[in-house]
Each structure stands twice: as C-alpha cells, then as structure tokens.
C-alpha cells in the first residue's frame, strides 16, 4: 500500500479489510456453530469441529497475508523447522500486547495444529464471539480470587479440574494448547507492583501449564517456547494497522517437557510443585536474557 501514508487513513483501510474478511468467514462460521450446537450428535460435532477449524485457519491466513502485503513491518521469524501439523504442542509465550496473538497465529498457522487459547469464562457470553470460541473448542476458565476462595473454600481446585476437563477432548485430535504464562500483558507498572525479578517479563504462573501437562500426559509432542519482541517499539493492533510497528521478532524454541516421567501432583505435592516452578523460573530467566539481546539487535540491512 505504498500510496497511502502511515497513519489513520492506512489504519482505517486495513481495519476495513479485516472486517470484510471476518464477515466473509465469520457469518458461515457462526451458522455452522449454531448447527453444531443444536445437533448434539458426536459424529456431527467432530465433523463440524474439523470444518470450523479449517475456516478459522483460512481467516488467519487471509489476515496475515493482507497485513504483510500492506504494512512496512519487517517480520523476523525464527525456529520453525521441524514443526508438525499432526503433533500435540504446549505453547508458551511472553505477552506485551494484543499484537502478540496476531504474531503467534500468523507464525504458527498451519505449521502446528490450530492454537487453543484459554479464555475467561465470562467471555463465553460475548455475542457472536462467545459462540465462535465455543465452536472452536476454546477452553473456558473460571478464576477465583483469594477473597472468593476464603469465603468459599470448596472452590479451591475447581480451576485445575476445569483445565483437565477441557484438555481431555484434545486427546482425540492434534492440538496446540497456548498459554501466556504471565497471566496478563507486561507493563513497567505491573512489573514494579509484582516485584518481578525480570527486566522484560512478569513472574510466570506455573499452575496452568502444569495442569495441561497432567491432563494430556505422554501424548504431548513437545513444548514450544515463543519469544516475541518489538525491537524498534511496539503497540496495539491500531498501531500495527497504521504502519507504526517497524519490526516484529518471533523466535520459536523447541523444548522437551520437564519432569515428564516424574510422579507428582502439582496441587498436593509440595516437592513436585517446587521443582516445576524452579524449572519455569529458569526458562523465564533465559527468555529475559534473550529479550535483552533481541531488543538490542540492530535491524537487518535490506537486500
């Protein structure tokens, strides 16, 4: 889009393209999702589930191609060799903005099975989107505050059970389970308030990925540790659409799964939980050091 300058006009055109793509794929997707909802037959739901995922992958592919064709953003993607669309992956990543989701989807789409994000339970009631997320088998999660657990101790552990239940259905077809282990987007203010020991990251939350590993067990192929960096400045979707994000680095590191053969219950076994948290803290320290390097890199010389 060379004749449209960076800024709101370019952003509006890109936004319109995304809306049109969403309508083109979203309307039939919602219709099929409704049919899946009202016909509770296992074979029908399996078939429609496959079709719905293919439609969502097509939506992502079109959005990614459009963004890369219209934006000056340089996409620096590393570590995709050897990924399989028929495997089972646990995917973890740092989280700085909503652009992270676009970066993950655009990078991993059709290279690994469709990414399943954990979604807050209250979002299941969002019009249209809630139905689409349900139809795509996105796991909905309830989170309880310390105050809620103090008032109702019987709720303790129900989030783990919900994670296990959500993951059980993933045993029957290749799946990538995505987890932003910081639990929220990074900001300097959050880093300070949580006393994070890392320069570019918040403290990781180990429970979510421990529960996924416990639920899926030996069928997981491996873990993909994704580091996302914006060396020349980041922003949200509007900044990306307006051409204000010069460069995005997405680096995928394949890791063997920790403590895979060790017996342990993350909730009840203090020793197992401590070892798991120590492992994740080491991973996060390595990621923090890697972000130091990526954010300090000089941009590649165009050829």
For residue 303, pLDDT over 50 is answered with no
**Does some domain include residue 238?**
yes
To the nearest whole number, what is the mean pLDDT of the chain? 86
**Does some domain include residue 40?**
no
**Does some domain include residue 133?**
yes
CATH no. for residue 233? 3.40.1130
The whole domain housing 205 covers: 72-295
Whole-model pTM above 0.95?
no
pLDDT digits (tens, 9 = 90+) for 67-118: 988 888 999 999 999 999 998 999 999 999 999 999 999 999 999 999 998 8
Is the CB of residue 85 less than 8 Å from the CB of residue 174?
A: yes
CA distance 295 to 198: 14
Among 277, 100, 295, residue whose Cα is nearest residue 185:
100
Among 207, 119, 203, residue whose Cα is nearest residue 156:
207
**Does some domain include residue 61?**
no
For residue 133, pLDDT over 70 is answered with yes
Local confidence band at 152 (pLDDT 50, 70, 90 cut-offs): confident
Maximum alpha-carbon separation in the chain: 62
Among 218, 210, 215, residue whose Cα is nearest residue 274:
210
Q: Is 37 helix (H, G, I), strand (E, B) or coil?
A: helix
Among 160, 149, 286, residue whose Cα is nearest residue 227:
286
Q: What is the pLDDT of residue 1?
A: 47
At 62, which helix (H) or strand (E)?
helix 42-70
pLDDT digits (tens, 9 = 90+) for 246-283: 999 999 999 988 765 455 677 778 888 898 899 999 99
pLDDT digits (tens, 9 = 90+) for 40-58: 888 898 899 899 999 999 9
DSSP string, 63-131: HHHHHHHH---EEEEE--TT--TTS-EEEEE--SSTHHHHHHHHHHBTTBSPEEE-EEGGGGGSTTHHH
**Does some domain include residue 51?**
no
Is the CB of residue 158 less than 8 Å from the CB of residue 164?
A: no
The whole-number average pLDDT for the span 185-191 is: 94
CA distance 231 to 293: 10
**Does some domain include residue 97?**
yes
Local confidence band at 297 (pLDDT 50, 70, 90 cut-offs): low
**Does some domain include residue 300?**
no
At 293, which helix (H) or strand (E)?
helix 270-295
Is the CB of residue 33 less than 8 Å from the CB of residue 132?
A: yes
Into how many domains does the chain fold? 1
**Does some domain include residue 103?**
yes
Q: What is the pLDDT of residue 259?
A: 61
Q: What is the pLDDT of residue 229?
A: 96
């Amino acid at each position: 889009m060379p004749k449209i300058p960076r800024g709101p006009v370019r952003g509006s055109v890109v936004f319109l393209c995304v809306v049109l793509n969403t309508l083109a794929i979203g309307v039939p997707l919602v219709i099929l999702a409704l049919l899946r909802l009202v016909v509770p037959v296992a074979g029908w739901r399996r078939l429609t589930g496959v079709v719905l995922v293919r439609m969502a992958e097509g939506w992502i592919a079109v959005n990614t191609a459009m963004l890369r064709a219209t934006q000056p953003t340089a996409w620096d993607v590393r570590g995709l060799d050897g990924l399989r669309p028929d495997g089972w992956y646990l995917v973890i990543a740092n989280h700085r903005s909503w652009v992270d989701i676009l970066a993950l989807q655009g990078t991993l789409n059709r290279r690994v099975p469709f990414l399943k994000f954990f979604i807050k339970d209250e979002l299941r009631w969002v019009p249209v989107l809630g139905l689409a997320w349900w139809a795509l088998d996105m796991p909905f999660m309830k989170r309880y505050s310390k105050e809620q657990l103090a008032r109702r101790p019987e709720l303790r552990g129900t989030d783990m059970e919900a994670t296990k239940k959500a993951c059980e259905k993933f045993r029957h077809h290749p799946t990538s389970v995505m987890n932003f282990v910081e639990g929220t987007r990074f900001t300097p203010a959050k880093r300070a308030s949580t006393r994070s020991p890392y320069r570019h990251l918040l403290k990781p939350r180990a429970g979510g990925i421990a529960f996924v590993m416990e639920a899926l067990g030996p069928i997981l192929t491996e873990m993909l540790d994704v580091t996302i960096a914006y060396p020349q400045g980041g922003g949200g979707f509007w900044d990306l659409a307006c051409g204000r994000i010069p460069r995005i680095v997405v680096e995928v590191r394949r890791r063997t799964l920790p403590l895979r053969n060790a017996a342990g219950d993350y909730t009840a076994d203090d020793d197992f939980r401590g070892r798991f948290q120590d492992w994740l803290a080491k991973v996060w320290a390595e990621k923090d050091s890697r972000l130091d390097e990526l954010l300090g890199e000089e941009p590649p010389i165009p050829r």
